[in-house]
Amino acid sequence: MTDGGGVGPSIDLELFHDMVFDLRFDRPAPGSNLEGRFQRAGNIPIALDAPFGETGPMLFRFGDMLSLLFDWTTVQSGMRISDPDHLLFDYTRMMMGFRLFRPAPRKIEMIGLGGGSLAKACYRCLPQCDITVVEIDPAVIDLREQFHIPPDDDRFRVICADGLDYILSAPGAPDILILDGFDSRGLPPALSERSFYDSCRDRLGRNGLLVANLCDNAMAFTTLERRIGASFENRTIVVPAENGGNRVVFASIDPAFPPARQTVRGHLPDTDVVDYDAKARRIVRALARASLEVPGTEH
């Protein structure tokens, strides 16, 4: 099967990113008629809306795709309108690869809501799991219905709070801590410091697993990976996304992490959301690269 599955018309993600890039220069007024503006788009419906003003998050409709844009430059999330639970971007499917290490977590915390792709996937695939999503921007939370994010219930909630404050002060300890918090300038400084990753480690404890999305330039990747590694005793796995624009980091101070390559297996259900066999193969390749980079190391 194709990794990620899903139904509905195909989406040309390269063309989509081209359109977003051009919007940075055009900056059309929300509600403008964009039909015919981009010749390569042909008859694909295109629309732009800024429900909270031009300084807030914007909604960009590109055919069967609804995306959340920040400040004309940053694609925060994307959703297939005909299949809202489909994980459109590879990095989100790779982040769900945490199930290869912790297949049935009891408690998940997420920093950053965006369009809610990961929140919806966890809610759907893990019906016994308690999920808390922390989002600092109330305007992003106000878009939850448009992105088909489920309402709060006894096992799922979205709270408006600063992610750093939450990590430092909220009670409890999750099995999985997912970091996907970005603003219009990228990863906020408060969520990229060594002290923040130390706090994440302390919150998770020995058996918890960190799953971090990194999206920046090559120099930032190196710095952030080093900081996460220092906080988690270098017990990390770094997997590039297929398009190279993101990297996903898995980290834990569990002495059994990272696992031996031969023990990483797929064979999980819900392959309509993620092809876990494909993700397992990429994680094994990442472990192999890491062992080559550190002479004498074998995971």
Q: Which residues are catalytic?
A: 180
Which one-letter amino acid corresponds to residue 268? L
Q: Sign of torsion, CA 191 194 197 199?
A: negative
- What are φ and ψ of residue 209, in 5° steps? -125, 130
DSSP-assigned letters across all residues of 88-121: -SHHHHHHGGGGGT-SS-SEEEEE--TT-HHHHH
- CA triplet 272, 274, 278: central angle to 5 degrees? 120
Question: How far is Cα 174 from Cα 132, in angstroms, rounded to an integer?
Answer: 9
SS3 label, residue 247: strand
H helices of 28-144, in order, are 90-95, 117-125, 138-141
State the Cα angle at 27 between 24 and 28, rounded to 5°: 140
Sheet containing 65-70, strands listed edge to edge, beginning at the edge strand earlier in sequence: 46-49, 58-62, 65-70, 74-80
Strand partners for 69: 58, 75
What is residue 230's three-state secondary structure? Answer: helix
